[in-house]
């Protein structure tokens, strides 16, 4: 049995990394996938083709998750193309790491806009549709860094902790309409985002993880399949750490 058969799903930031992994895994479970990217048009086009070949409906949209208007326009387009939205995965995210001493105002604002305000933008944009359907699952991508903090990532940690507060509030506001909101908090997942770190830092992260390896986009995607599917019908307002035991 395919767990997401016939469900229509929007994922932000699926041209690379974790979002790409989620889109691929969701399509394999029978979901139709609308996904966004910021500038990677080539990889986005390739993914659209790959998913379509799996027999599901798939479409890539260039859309800036940080822009309120762009998110409104995106959801309008997706509704025209897909008619219904069952699941929203707010995955798009960036880092601009620095110690507070060296962090510019722009670096703080940009990370908050792309990582946190995007979640507000997209939730606002799908809210009416999900309320009308009296059904929906929203999955927001936080990080273990949002739970624990991290030196050199105060902007990123603030954005990811903000996502948890926002999501718990949505679980309370929207629960009575059968709209569930949960958070996935990945640990160290090996993608382009983490490739920026130096080899010594990466080795240190791996060593500190009880399961002794970095995670893969598939590890995160599997948790998202569960939260998107009716298997998690009685779960809302939760933070699921997918981190190889890192914060244990
Ligand atoms: P990634 O490889 O850098 O990919 C980021 C994705 O987000 C790309 O598809 C990118 O599109 C898209 N994106 C960036 N800015 C955007 C914007 N303004 N509007 C729309 N899309 C935008 O990152 P990743 O490692 O897969 O991370 C995905 C999510 O997981 C992020 O929220 C991140 O914070 C979180 N996370 C990652 C890790 C980790 O270890 N990797 C750990 C914890 C949490 P383009 O390709 O067009 O630029």
pLDDT of 124 reads 98
Give the model confidence (pLDDT) of 192-212 as tens digits.
888 888 889 889 989 999 999
Atom 44, ligand 1: which residue's CA is nearest? 143
pLDDT of 197 reads 84
**Contact present, 170 and 191 (Cβ < 8 Å):** no
Please tell me the distance between residue 109's alpha carbon and the centre of ligand 1 in angstroms. 17
How would you write 111-155 as a 3-class SS string?
Answer: HHHHHHHHHHHHHHHHHHHHHHHCCEEEEEECCHHHHHCCCCEHH
- The share of the chain scoring above pLDDT 70, in percent, equals 100
Query: Does position 225 have pLDDT exceeding 90, yes or no?
Result: yes
Give the model confidence (pLDDT) of 176-195 as tens digits.
999 999 999 999 999 988 88
Question: What does pTM read for this prediction?
Answer: 0.98
Atom 38, ligand 1: which residue's CA is nearest? 189
pLDDT of 205 reads 86
**Strand pairing class (136-141; 87-90):** parallel
Q: How far is CA 238 from the centre of its chain?
A: 15
**Contact present, 16 and 191 (Cβ < 8 Å):** yes
pLDDT of 194 reads 86
**Strand pairing class (8-11; 136-141):** unpaired
pLDDT of 1 reads 85
**Contact present, 197 and 156 (Cβ < 8 Å):** no
How many residues make up the chain in this entry?
248
Give the model confidence (pLDDT) of 25-83 as tens digits.
999 999 999 999 999 999 999 999 999 999 999 999 999 999 999 999 999 999 999 99
Range 104-132 average pLDDT: 98
> Does residue 37 carry a catalytic annotation?
no
Surface-to-core class of residue 217, CB atoms within 10 Å of its CB (0-12 exposed, 13-18 middle, 19+ buried): buried
**Which residues sit with their C-beta closer than 6 Å to ligand 1?**
12-19, 36-40, 64-66, 91-94, 114, 141, 143, 186, 188-189, 191-194
Query: Does position 227 have pLDDT exceeding 90, yes or no?
Result: yes
Q: For ligand 1, pick from 10, 12, 13 the residue to mutate: most ligand atoms within 8 Å of CB.
A: 13
What is the average pLDDT value for the chain, to the nearest integer? Answer: 97
**Contact present, 6 and 32 (Cβ < 8 Å):** yes
Range 217-237 average pLDDT: 98
CA distance 164 to 170: 10
CA distance 21 to 35: 12
CA distance 204 to 208: 6
Give the model confidence (pLDDT) of 159-169 as tens digits.
999 999 999 99
Which residues does residue 58 pair with via DSSP β-bridges, in sequence order? 33
Homologous superfamily of 8-242 in CATH? NAD(P)-binding Rossmann-like Domain (3.40.50.720)
The residue extents of the domains of the chain are 8-242
Q: Which of 15, 17, 70, 27 is nearest to 214 (CA)?
A: 17
């Amino acid at each position: 049995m395919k767990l997401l058969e016939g469900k229509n799903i929007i994922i932000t930031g699926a041209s690379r990394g974790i979002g790409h992994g989620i889109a691929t895994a969701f399509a394999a479970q029978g979901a139709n996938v609308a996904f966004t990217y910021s500038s990677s048009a080539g990889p986005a086009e390739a993914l659209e083709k790959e998913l379509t070949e799996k027999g599901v409906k798939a479409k890539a949209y260039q859309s800036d998750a940080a822009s309120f208007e762009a998110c409104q326009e995106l959801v309008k387009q997706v509704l025209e193309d897909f008619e219904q939205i069952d699941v929203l995965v707010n995955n798009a995210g960036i880092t601009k790491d620095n110690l507070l001493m060296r962090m510019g105002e722009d670096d703080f604002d940009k990370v908050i806009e792309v990582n946190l305000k995007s979640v507000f933008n997209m939730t606002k944009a799908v809210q009416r549709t999900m309320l009308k359907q009296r059904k929906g699952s929203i999955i927001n991508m936080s990080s273990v860094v949002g739970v624990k903090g991290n030196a050199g990532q105060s902007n990123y940690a603030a954005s990811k902790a903000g996502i948890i507060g926002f999501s718990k509030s949505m679980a309370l506001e929207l629960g009575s309409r059968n709209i569930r909101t949960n958070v996935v908090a990945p640990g160290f997942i090996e993608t382009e985002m983490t490739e920026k770190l130096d080899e010594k830092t990466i080795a240190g992260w791996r060593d500190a993880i009880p399961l002794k390896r970095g995670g893969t986009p598939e590890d995160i995607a599997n948790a998202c399949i569960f939260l998107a599917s009716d298997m998690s019908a009685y779960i809302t307002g939760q933070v699921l750490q997918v981190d190889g035991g890192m914060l244990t």
